[in-house]
Amino acid sequence: MEVLKFPSLDSCSDALSGAINGRSCCIIGGNCRVWYTGRAESYLEFGERILFLKGDGTVIIHQKEGNAPINWMPADSVSQCFIRDFKLVILSTLPKDGQRLKVEFDRVNFLNSFRLEDGVTLVSAGSEKDMAIMLYNNPDLIEKGFKPISLEEQTAFGFIDVFGYDKNNFLVVVECKRYAASLDAVTQLRRYVEKVKSMKGIDNVRGFIAAPKISPNALKMLEGWGFKFVKVEPPKYFEDIKKKQTTLKNFG
Amino acid sequence: MEVLKFPSLDSCSDALSGAINGRSCCIIGGNCRVWYTGRAESYLEFGERILFLKGDGTVIIHQKEGNAPINWMPADSVSQCFIRDFKLVILSTLPKDGQRLKVEFDRVNFLNSFRLEDGVTLVSAGSEKDMAIMLYNNPDLIEKGFKPISLEEQTAFGFIDVFGYDKNNFLVVVECKRYAASLDAVTQLRRYVEKVKSMKGIDNVRGFIAAPKISPNALKMLEGWGFKFVKVEPPKYFEDIKKKQTTLKNFG
DNA sequence: GGGGAGAGATGCCGC
DNA sequence: GCGGCATTTCTCCCC
């Protein structure tokens, strides 16, 4: 790391303790090793990483590359820190299940302690649910004469994206996928269809997968079960969101 | 944020550009808003957040709470930054699919630019694969007389965790889950069993789910298909790891 | 709180 | 690259 003077481990321990007690945030960059035990066990030898402690107890450790943290602790974790053997030690534990993390810094290159003021949540569009809504409002995308009757229905037989009748009044189950439908999507559809059949005591229930594409194996299995694939692009965003959030258009 | 003096947006732009060009890392804390378009669309109004740019092109934006970033860009994203309308603007694009992120800071509270030296990878144990290995080496955990013949067998229809014969030489398919087995696990097992049946042209193939527990619905479906549940705790770690990595024992 | 399912999932491995 | 699938998945929704 190209940093001029390193803060002392003592001062870091003080700052970090202050952040923990005050439920504020702290970012530490330095040389450390990491142990985790809980849902699995892991050990990471010494190397330079970033540790991010949040006010809600979350701890995130990042290496120099990659999207995902190499180690972490969930919100509500309880942390403490101290100096031992000339190292800054951070211990975090999640009380409800006992999983814990230990980090040892032998050198801290920088430390920032701060509060974040932020009460804003994300506005987004383009989920699988948005796709189901689109199909509900444009049933011909599935098939001419399709009459949807419910959306994201939580039933005793599961969670069905779009449910309805075809033009011959046979029941129709539609499973949506935003990306390529996989073998999993087909088995999921099959499970719903069979459950509907047995619950309703009828034999003719049709199944559709609506997705932009489907893997060859999945298509084979789908057709083997007498189901159909309908190519549907997921919606990017919706008119109402576009109108409300004019900022969405300000991009670029 | 409790920071004494804020760096100028101009100096931040310079530092960030330097980090981008030099493929080093940069962390910025400040007040910003965020647009994303690509796999979905989203907008996040002004609020204080942390932006972390990595040398591999990864961009991660964190709010004050929660484990997951609120917005991000994958590795290999290409970023640029500049000042426009008295704001620090950061644009990131992933060339291969065109997804992009725009961040506008109207105030930067702190900025750290640095390199990370880290060539170390995680040593871990306790995955589903470790569980399959344990069952392969301790077949009686599944059933007296079980003879495993393969592990994580890759087939066209998926891969089978543990595959073998029972004491009567009937084929056995075992699906492992580290946590509670769900409906999905049962349909997955069923898919394997049926595929093995049709591929081998035999009718008697047995299915097991090995997991610490199973949901009531999943158990019902499992038994409806004539399969069996075996309660197995996932291994925490292995003797060879314990021996090689004595540091694993130094925890706490 | 548990069950069920999506996610801008991500990451890994095998073909 | 795609396919198939686990993940210390996480998060949300609904019962």
pLDDT per residue as tens digits for the range B36-82: 999 999 999 999 999 999 999 999 999 999 999 999 999 999 999 99
Per the structure block, which two tokens stand in for B123? 């040593």
Predicted confidence at residue B215, as pLDDT, reads 96
Nearest to B202 by CA among B170, B166, B173, B224: B170
Shortest CA gap B49–chain A (Å): 7
Mean pLDDT of chain B: 91
Decide: CB of A178 under 7 A of nucleic strand C: yes
Give the predicted TM-score (pTM) of the model: 0.93
Predicted confidence at residue A5, as pLDDT, reads 78
A147-183 per-position pLDDT tens digit:
999 998 877 667 899 999 999 999 999 999 999 999 9
> Is residue A238 predicted with pLDDT exceeding 50?
no
Beta carbon pairs, A and B, within 8 Å: 228
**Subunit contact A109:B114, Cβ cutoff 8 A:** yes
> Is residue B118 predicted with pLDDT exceeding 60?
yes
Return the nearest residue to C13, CA–C1'. B154
Decide: CB of A189 under 7 A of nucleic strand C: no
Share of chain B above pLDDT 90, in %: 86
How sure is the predictor about A107, in pLDDT bands with cuts at 50, 70 and 90?
Answer: very high
Q: Where are the alpha helices (DSSP H) in chain B?
A: 9-21, 128-137, 183-200, 216-224, 239-244
Predicted confidence at residue B235, as pLDDT, reads 86
> Is residue B226 predicted with pLDDT exceeding 80?
yes
A193-220 per-position pLDDT tens digit:
999 999 899 999 999 999 999 999 999 9
Tell me the one-letter amino acid at B14: D
Q: What is the mean pLDDT of residues B2-21?
A: 90
Share of chain A above pLDDT 70, in %: 91
Predicted confidence at residue B251, as pLDDT, reads 59
Predicted confidence at residue B5, as pLDDT, reads 79
Nearest to A25 by CA among A115, A132, A152: A115
> Where in A54-114 does DSSP place strands (E)?
59-62, 71-73, 78-84, 87-93, 100-114
